[in-house]
Structure 1
């Protein structure tokens, strides 16, 4: 019995589990579910009937109609603007000049009117200017009107090259 080999005992390994990754994943899941629950809650949409504004021109018939100005650029430095929709404008189309005493004064006046009509519990509505250069207008006119947007601090404007048939007739007639 002396020659019998000794039993080799296997070494016991440490069975400790590192839970660092599990903690990170659980925090990510908690954050994910908190965000999805918050986004799933129904939101309240404020209905703007226009009753609290007391607008000087008239009540807008479409949302944003009272805060949009369309500026059309024609040939020979022609500049025509109107407020609202062309079919039923708040301010009918008028020809105006570039510069301090022309379009800039109208933009600043309209912008200040909008700031005055915004109620105190809502953020003030900004003026929206739609710039429509015709194919006969020159590049200088477009640069001039963009300069007027910067001077009057108009933050929301768009350059739209398409004209409706009514706008084309208006630009050709005046």
Structure 2
């Protein structure tokens, strides 16, 4: 609480102005501040991190998947990607270079998935192969496209020397 103290007059008999000293007790205000800080810390929700679930294959016998169901996406430099259906030596859909726009990789995945499903009756499998000069954002963008297009089966695999040569020939 605040106190007002008056000083006593001087012994010399002169009248000096009375000086009032004030003293404010801030204990209650500090208590209130700590209560408010505690309240806001307890009631605040922290931002939840967003993560994509990734299932890794187990070791053991693997079922053979036909090349007619396998779309390969090669990630190159300058945020460009190349895709083809089947094997590189004998592709069902020839290698094509595209970007990460809605009319780029997403459109290619949707169209290829429809062709594979109409032909085989099964879902398509996508192999994502990041190159040495590809950026991490290209890989994240490709994984986002898998989620957007609803592709359930995809894998991130190491790029092969033949794939690297094709990327060099295409300039990506």
TM-score band (shorter)? 0.5 to 0.7
Structure number, greater radius of gyration: 2
> Structure 1: where are the runs of 5+ without partners?
1-61, 119-123
Query: Is 2:169 aligned against 1:173?
Result: yes
Higher strand share goes to which structure? 2
Give the drift of 1:99: 2.1
Output one character per residue of 1:90-119: Cα deviation in whole Å (capped at 9) or x when no partner.
11111011121011111111212233334x
| Distance of 1:114 and 1:93 partners within structure 2 | 16
Give the drift of 1:133: 0.3
Note if contact 1:77-1:137 (Cα within 8 Å) is conserved in structure 2: yes
1:105 to 87, 90, 107: 107
TM-score, with structure 1 as normaliser: 0.58
RMSD: 1.6
Match of 1:125 in 2: 122
Match of 1:160 in 2: 157
Secondary structure of 1:86's counterpart equals coil
Output one character per residue of 1:35-75: Cα deviation in whole Å (capped at 9) or x when no partner.
xxxxxxxxxxxxxxxxxxxxxxxxxxx95211111000011
1:151 to 148, 151, 170: 148
TM-score, with structure 2 as normaliser: 0.58
> Structure 2: where are the runs of 5+ without partners?
1-63
| Distance of 1:105 and 1:136 partners within structure 2 | 24
CA gap of 1:138–1:63, structure 2 versus 1, over 3 A, is closer
